[in-house]
Chain A
Amino acid sequence: MTEKIKQLVDKVKELLEKASSVAEIGDIRVTFLGKSGEYTGLLRGLKDVAPAERGTIGKLINEGKVRLENMIAEKEAYFRKKEEAKKLASEKIDVTLSKGYLIGSTHPITKVKNEILDTFIGLGFAVKEGPEIETDYYNFQTLGIPADHPARDMQDTFYISENILLRTHTSPMQSRTMLSEKPPIRIVVPGKVYRADDDATHSPIFNQIEGLCVEEGISLAHLKNMLEIFAKSTFTKDTKVRFRPSYFPFTEPSVEVDISCSMCGGKGCRLCKGTGWIEVLGAGIVNPVVLENCGIDSKKYSGFAFGFGIDRIAMLKYGIPDIRLMYENDVNFLKQYK
């Protein structure tokens, strides 16, 4: 009997070595360990063994069975793994291929506008919008620019009728807001504005953001701080801000605001024409005449205001050389701004 056990075990061993698939191993299992398997038959033969030896032999048979089961399982696992690997290999794909995808884009004006608005929203400014087709009254008169004032030459205006025009700046929202709200006022106004001008740096339509802050005791130093925050968050952390005297009818004092050149960092380059500075916006202390025009006590309150072209900031930020690219909507341009 012992001999028989060894024989069968050796036979299975031999067969397993020859086997080459999970299926074959399954057959071996059935052949030997199945209900009517050869090895299983040994157990049935136990009844012919002398009772005194039965315990020993039975133990041997069982031990052999465990051995066989282990051997089969091991081999089966081996082939299962191998076959799986083979199947996976047959599923190989070229991962460098692509079936294409859909991706839209956001116009750089929208991108830059939202970034800038976020900065000012964080500083407590509310976003407001106003009409693009404006009255002469709001666009000019409330801002201290009466009819035939020489400052009207500063802006080439598109007219709809004698008193209706396409707003030349977002500033009319200064007076519209001050006429309807009481200080403290802190607003930013994005929107399209229009000037009869068309060349590489001027588009007849462009986008501005106006800022207005009216409270007690507002100074040029407050304005400078706000614009420093704006410049640093829009460009780089070490961007500097410089004021130069200027003139706008609705601010007094008025300043042109330069930032240190976004390309060379102030060392001087082609973009800043060697000066290290780039003019980006106009600003100033709200002219008391404008406050009074809007029913705000200029003895008690003061304010600052600023206005700049989003298009110009976007051009600087992205290095876009010609403003007209912004409005040509060439897909090769648009797709650069995902």
Chain B
Amino acid sequence: MKAPLSWLKDYVDITVSEEELAAKLVGAGFEIEEVIRPSDDYVNIKAVKILSMDKHPNADKLRICQVDAGDKRLQIVTAATNVSVGDVVALALDGAKLPDGTCIKKGELRGVLSEGMFCGGSELKLTGADYPAAGIDGVFIFPEDTVPGTDINDFIGTNDVIFDVSVTANRPDCNSIIGIAREIAAVLGQPMKDTFRLPEISEEGEISSALSVEVKDEELCPRYLAKMLKEVKIAPSDELIKRRLRLMGLRPINNIVDITNYVLFDIGQPMHAFDYKDIAGGKIVVRRAEKGESIVTLDGTENHLGENNLVIANRDIPMAVAGVMGGANSGISDTTDTVVFEFARFKRDNIRKTARTLGLHSDSSARFEKGIDFISQDLALIRTIQLVTRLGAGRFAKGTVDTLKKAITPAVITVKKSKIDEILGIDVETKEIERILKSLQFDVVVNGDDMTITIPAFREDIVGANDIAEEVIRMYGYDNIVGKPLDGKKLMQGGRNPRDRIVQKIKAFLSGIGGLSETFSYSFISPKFIEEFSLAEGDPRTNVIRILNPLSEDVSVMRTTLAPSMFSICASNYARGVKEGAFYEIGKTYFPKSLPMTDTAIEKETLVLATFGEKRDFYSLKGIFEALADRFNVAVDFIPSDEPFLHPYRQAFITIAGKKIGYIGQLHPAVAKTRKFDAELYLAEIDLDAFIDNATDFLPFVAISKFPSIQRDLAFVVDENVYAGEMLKRIKAVGGDYLRQASVFDVYQGIGVLPGKKSIAFNLLFRKDDGTLDGEEVSKTVDDIIAAMSASFGAKLRD
């Protein structure tokens, strides 16, 4: 809310500095977004009197003027044709700055010095509605009695300070000059001036004989107040109104329209002015629009209305979208003779919905959306009567039409002083509470611990003790609250849940010994990944949750896999010249329970690992993953897989107890190429929830055998397509109780091994916990293993 200091002073005496005032408003809960000095737009622009005009020796269209700038004489070269000797005109002097930011410097025009530039209305950001002289094409001419040297800011009223106050959603009453003024009065301890005295007026006829109002939906329109103005003389407003509207960033139009805008800012009550001749049947009907109805609003757009849109209609058709915008069919024109002013209260959420669905927004709708109280209509009516009378804009018909059946009685609540202290955690004296509340126009009656508080009508946000406590402390000062420990309260056991503890340990492991860098990427990605990763129809990862209003298509679906984000991270680092990388991320993937969504999603914690670079291959990534699984005592297995976005011969599914939890492999070179990634990128992605379900950071102690172990090495020649992992699995299966470890220590192809074959060497370790192992026993087991290898894999013991 913009609040010019000069306007605020209508309501309250302000003697403190602007800085102090701003600080006090901040302290009371009103952030100052900006302190605007409108005179900054008009630097060194003055009224000067033309003393002489002579022809330019080198240019037919230019003339050389000598001007009186008050304190000095200047020479100005101009092409203007609308000025003559004796005129007082606007001059941008050397070093001047115009509202559009243009700076003026003295210089030569065709060889003759010009110490400034004459300005017209458009350069001064003024129009004919501001001053008739600003409407013509040419130099701005001041009234002839203007003293030469007068600064333009003094003339147009821009020597002011505007506080742009940020108003929180709970304080709609402060979207007005009067609202801000009330707060200032409270923080300064000043009284509010009475500005609502009704002037003497002569009335013409009765409104009730010419107009009736019917509200068909009282929930959406709890009050509709109408006042009729006859014998209207459409004319420009006076200087004060025009100046103030300009300070608020609005163009003056004419007296009637200006009054509605002025009152909107002044009181915060949006108004509307109808031309009475457009009110067919002399009847205003406030009703929901009928299906199929439409209205062309003042901005020229045609709006198709529905039954959730409230309209102000005459007997036949809508004249305005209630609280949002008037219709083009019922506005004020130069020939308007009788005006009906509307002062209404509409339900805020309905206006908000209408403004959104129609895409129509106005100063009125902005205020109605936040909420208008019941007193503002009365205040606005008085202000309107005062302004109309001051401007001589017409004669009011006697009385009003008001749909409010009974007078509004202020709300009264009883709050315990001790409750206020309890909320604040400090003791504020009763007298002080009383003083503060009264300065905010609350009425207070103290009876022991009970405070009976009458809430002013414009404070509909106040409902209970917490609200009162807030009023007290924001005026008393938050700095008075001294921190108090939670002593005397229950001791509580905090901490992380076991699952989260494991997640943190996984991160520590990967960032530490794993040597990977943790990344954080967006949860939403481009739906193109489905195509880029060649995911088949029916793959659950294609069942993405879409965002209705994404920032862009690139971030429009919730990810079902972390691989696209991770690929993108690797690719962008690679493009920056990073030739070796190792990353991981733990984040959620999102799956709908059903589509369209009616409930929360299935959110799966997912882990993705990625490595690339000269020293990185499938096995190095697999090693990191195996180490992670070992660290948390998870038995994982790797089985053949067919992920479409991975290298067909370098990939595996990762399983736990036969259940697939993810994959590991090289990103398909064709996919890698889409991001100009020409190295080998290794990826692993697992369902971390499933991993953690099988993970433990705790195993009970196992006694260490005191007896010696026996080691045997066995080398087999097998077909080159046989998986070593399969052989190892079989060895473990037939190895019996005493086979404690089995591992591959060499794979060989080359001289001594037939083409198409390979040699795989295993190291086996046997041990008994409760005695020395018998060599014969071991030999027997080894024979079993050899037999099993032969039977299952056609393996022959290598000589």
Interface pair B482/A221, CB less than 8 Å apart = yes
Residue A235 at the B interface, CB < 8 A? no
> Which residue on B lies nearest to A159, using beta carbons?
B548
Q: How many of A's residues come within 8 Å of B, CB to CB?
A: 84
Interface pair B467/A205, CB less than 8 Å apart = no
Q: How far is the CA of A102 from the CA of B521 in the complex (A)?
A: 23
With A254-B470, A331-B581 as contacts: A242 and B478 at CB distance below 8 Å? yes
Contact of A131 among B494, B497, B600 (CB under 8 A): B600
Residues of chain B within 8 A (CB-CB) of A249 are 169-170
Residues of chain A within 8 A (CB-CB) of B504 are 114
Interface pair B481/A224, CB less than 8 Å apart = yes
Q: How many of B's residues come within 8 Å of A, CB to CB?
A: 90
Interface pair A329/B352, CB less than 8 Å apart = no
Interface residues of B in 569-597 (CB under 8 A from A): 569, 572-573, 576, 578, 581-583, 588, 590, 596-597
Give the contact stretch, choosing among B1-9, B392-400, B511-519, B717-725: B511-519
With A163-B598, A287-B466 as contacts: A150 and B369 at CB distance below 8 Å? yes
Residue B486 at the A interface, CB < 8 A? yes
Residue B496 at the A interface, CB < 8 A? yes
Would you give the shortest CB distance from B473 to chain A, in whole angstroms? 6
Residues of chain B within 8 A (CB-CB) of A102 are 515, 582
Interface pair A242/B479, CB less than 8 Å apart = yes
Would you give the shortest CB distance from A212 to chain B, in whole angstroms? 12
Interface pair B547/A125, CB less than 8 Å apart = no
Residue A48 at the B interface, CB < 8 A? no
Residue B29 at the A interface, CB < 8 A? yes
Residues of chain B within 8 A (CB-CB) of A255 are 478
Residue B469 at the A interface, CB < 8 A? yes
Interface pair A219/B423, CB less than 8 Å apart = yes
1/0 contact string of B413-426 vs chain A (CB within 8 Å): 00000000011111
Residue A106 at the B interface, CB < 8 A? yes
Would you give the shortest CB distance from B210 to chain A, in whole angstroms? 36
Q: How far is the CA of A129 from the CA of B473 in the complex (A)?
A: 33
Give the contact stretch, choosing among A18-26, A32-40, A141-149: A141-149
With A104-B517, A184-B489 as contacts: A302 and B478 at CB distance below 8 Å? no
Would you give the shortest CB distance from B548 to chain A, in whole angstroms? 4
Interface pair A215/B485, CB less than 8 Å apart = no
Would you give the shortest CB distance from B603 to chain A, in whole angstroms? 6
Would you give the shortest CB distance from A114 to chain B, in whole angstroms? 7
Q: How far is the CA of A37 from the CA of B548 in the complex (A)?
A: 104
Interface pair A225/B483, CB less than 8 Å apart = yes
> Which residue on A lies nearest to B469, using beta carbons?
A253
Residues of chain B within 8 A (CB-CB) of A132 are 523, 588, 590, 603
Contact of B520 among A151, A213, A326 (CB under 8 A): A326
Interface pair B507/A106, CB less than 8 Å apart = yes
With A151-B169, A228-B483, A253-B470 as contacts: A329 and B507 at CB distance below 8 Å? no
Q: How far is the CA of A131 from the CA of B545 in the complex (A)?
A: 14
Q: How far is the CA of A151 from the CA of B369 in the complex (A)?
A: 10
Give the contact stretch, choosing among A6-14, A79-87, A115-123: A115-123
Q: How far is the CA of A215 from the CA of B486 in the complex (A)?
A: 10
Residues of chain B within 8 A (CB-CB) of A302 are 422-423
Q: How far is the CA of A109 from the CA of B519 in the complex (A)?
A: 10
Residue A334 at the B interface, CB < 8 A? yes
Interface pair B424/A221, CB less than 8 Å apart = yes
Would you give the shortest CB distance from A188 to chain B, in whole angstroms? 8
Interface residues of A in 298-327 (CB under 8 A from B): 302, 326-327
Residue A126 at the B interface, CB < 8 A? yes
1/0 contact string of B507-535 vs chain A (CB within 8 Å): 11011101111111111100000000000
Interface pair A120/B494, CB less than 8 Å apart = yes
Interface pair A221/B483, CB less than 8 Å apart = yes
With A247-B169, A334-B519 as contacts: A131 and B603 at CB distance below 8 Å? yes
Residue A161 at the B interface, CB < 8 A? yes
Residues of chain A within 8 A (CB-CB) of B578 are 331
Interface residues of A in 243-290 (CB under 8 A from B): 243-247, 249, 252-255, 285, 287-288
Residue B143 at the A interface, CB < 8 A? no
Would you give the shortest CB distance from B437 to chain A, in whole angstroms? 15
Interface pair B478/A245, CB less than 8 Å apart = yes
1/0 contact string of B265-285 vs chain A (CB within 8 Å): 000000000000000000000
Would you give the shortest CB distance from A120 to chain B, in whole angstroms? 7
Interface-central residue, A131, A148, A246, A287, by most chain B CB under 10 Å: A148
Residue B171 at the A interface, CB < 8 A? yes
Contact of A127 among B172, B497, B516, B599 (CB under 8 A): B497
Q: How far is the CA of A198 from the CA of B555 in the complex (A)?
A: 12
> Which residue on A lies nearest to B576, using beta carbons?
A330
Residues of chain A within 8 A (CB-CB) of B483 are 221-222, 224-228, 241
Contact of A245 among B29, B369, B545, B583 (CB under 8 A): B29
Would you give the shortest CB distance from B385 to chain A, in whole angstroms? 30
Residue B165 at the A interface, CB < 8 A? no
Would you give the shortest CB distance from A19 to chain B, in whole angstroms? 47
Interface pair B590/A184, CB less than 8 Å apart = no
Q: How far is the CA of A158 from the CA of B546 in the complex (A)?
A: 10
Residues of chain A within 8 A (CB-CB) of B494 are 120-127, 186
Interface residues of B in 598-629 (CB under 8 A from A): 598-601, 603
Residue B15 at the A interface, CB < 8 A? no
Interface pair A106/B348, CB less than 8 Å apart = no
Q: How far is the CA of A127 from the CA of B494 in the complex (A)?
A: 7
Residue A160 at the B interface, CB < 8 A? yes
Residues of chain A within 8 A (CB-CB) of B349 are 146-149
With A161-B597, A186-B494 as contacts: A133 and B27 at CB distance below 8 Å? no
Interface pair B600/A204, CB less than 8 Å apart = no
Would you give the shortest CB distance from B503 to chain A, in whole angstroms? 10
Residue A153 at the B interface, CB < 8 A? yes
Interface pair A107/B520, CB less than 8 Å apart = yes
Residue B37 at the A interface, CB < 8 A? no
Interface pair A133/B518, CB less than 8 Å apart = no
Contact of A106 among B493, B496, B518, B546 (CB under 8 A): B518
Interface residues of B in 534-584 (CB under 8 A from A): 545-551, 555, 558, 569, 572-573, 576, 578, 581-583
Residue B750 at the A interface, CB < 8 A? no
Residue A66 at the B interface, CB < 8 A? no
Interface pair B348/A253, CB less than 8 Å apart = no
Would you give the shortest CB distance from A6 to chain B, in whole angstroms? 60
Would you give the shortest CB distance from B362 to chain A, in whole angstroms? 16
Interface pair A107/B523, CB less than 8 Å apart = no
Q: How far is the CA of A220 from the CA of B514 in the complex (A)?
A: 45
Residues of chain A within 8 A (CB-CB) of B551 are 196, 198, 204
Residue B652 at the A interface, CB < 8 A? no
Interface pair A131/B518, CB less than 8 Å apart = no
Interface pair A219/B467, CB less than 8 Å apart = no
> Which residue on B lies nearest to A107, using beta carbons?
B518
Residue B431 at the A interface, CB < 8 A? no
Would you give the shortest CB distance from A139 to chain B, in whole angstroms? 11
Contact of A252 among B466, B495, B515, B555 (CB under 8 A): B466
> Which residue on A lies nearest to B493, using beta carbons?
A124
Interface residues of A in 141-195 (CB under 8 A from B): 146-151, 153-154, 158-161, 163-164, 166, 184, 186, 192, 194
Residues of chain B within 8 A (CB-CB) of A160 are 545-548, 558, 597
With A126-B494, A196-B551 as contacts: A334 and B500 at CB distance below 8 Å? no
- The contact sample of 12 A-B pairs, CB cut-off 8 A, is A124-B486, A126-B492, A126-B494, A126-B496, A149-B169, A150-B169, A158-B547, A161-B548, A243-B478, A243-B481, A288-B464, A326-B520
List 19 additional contacts besides A196-B551, A245-B29, A253-B474; criterion CB under 8 Å. A106-B511, A122-B494, A132-B523, A134-B600, A149-B349, A150-B369, A160-B558, A184-B492, A196-B549, A217-B422, A219-B423, A220-B481, A221-B426, A224-B425, A224-B482, A225-B485, A226-B483, A253-B473, A329-B519
Tell me the A residues contacting B by CB distance below 8 Å: 102-107, 109-110, 114, 117, 120-127, 129, 131-135, 146-151, 153-154, 158-161, 163-164, 166, 184, 186, 192, 194, 196, 198, 204-205, 213, 215, 217, 219-222, 224-228, 241-247, 249, 252-255, 285, 287-288, 302, 326-331, 334-335, 338
